[in-house]
């Protein structure tokens, strides 16, 4: 089972997502509950066997994605002392965003 790691880019996006949900009128507890469900889903993905998600070679050769609610989770598997020892969460983006434009402008995920 890969060890789950959140890159700085992903943790920043989670904080912004919580803030955006509050700005949209949700209570702080509701916003944090959504973030908890989203991160629980990431933990669930990391526990599953096999290569998960959709390959996203049009963005980066090693990127994969999975969806949760209206959000797209971008991640990759990274080898350590064993193949796919780590599952790195790179981004959380709203599915309505122009995802290809986000990556084309050179955002490298903060790694």
Tell me the pLDDT tens digit for each residue of 6-25: 999 999 999 999 999 999 99
pLDDT for 110 equals 44
- The two tokens of residue 79 are 């080898």
Strand duo 54-55 + 64-68: pairing: antiparallel
Backbone angles phi, psi at 55, to 5 degrees: -65, 140
- Has residue 11 been placed in a domain? yes
From the CA atom positions of the chain, what is the Rg in Å? 14
Backbone angles phi, psi at 70, to 5 degrees: -95, 10
- Has residue 9 been placed in a domain? yes
Longest CA–CA separation in the chain, Å: 46
What range does the domain containing 65 cover?
3-104
| pLDDT tens-place string over residues 50-80 | 889 999 999 999 999 999 999 999 999 999 8
Q: Which CATH number do you get for residue 20?
A: 3.30.2310.20
- Has residue 26 been placed in a domain? yes
pLDDT for 50 equals 84
- The structural domain count of the chain equals 1
- Has residue 39 been placed in a domain? yes
């Amino acid at each position: 089972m890969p060890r789950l790691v959140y890159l700085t880019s992903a943790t920043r996006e989670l904080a912004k997502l919580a803030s955006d949900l509050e700005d949209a009128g949700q209570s702080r507890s509701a916003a944090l509950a959504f973030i908890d469900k989203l991160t629980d889903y990431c933990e669930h993905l990391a526990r599953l066997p096999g290569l998960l998600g959709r390959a996203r070679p049009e963005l980066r050769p090693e990127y994969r994605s999975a969806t949760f609610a209206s959000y797209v989770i971008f991640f990759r598997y990274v080898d350590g002392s064993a193949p796919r020892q780590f599952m790195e969460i790179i981004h959380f983006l709203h599915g309505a965003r122009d995802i290809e434009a986000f990556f084309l402008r050179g955002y490298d995920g903060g790694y």
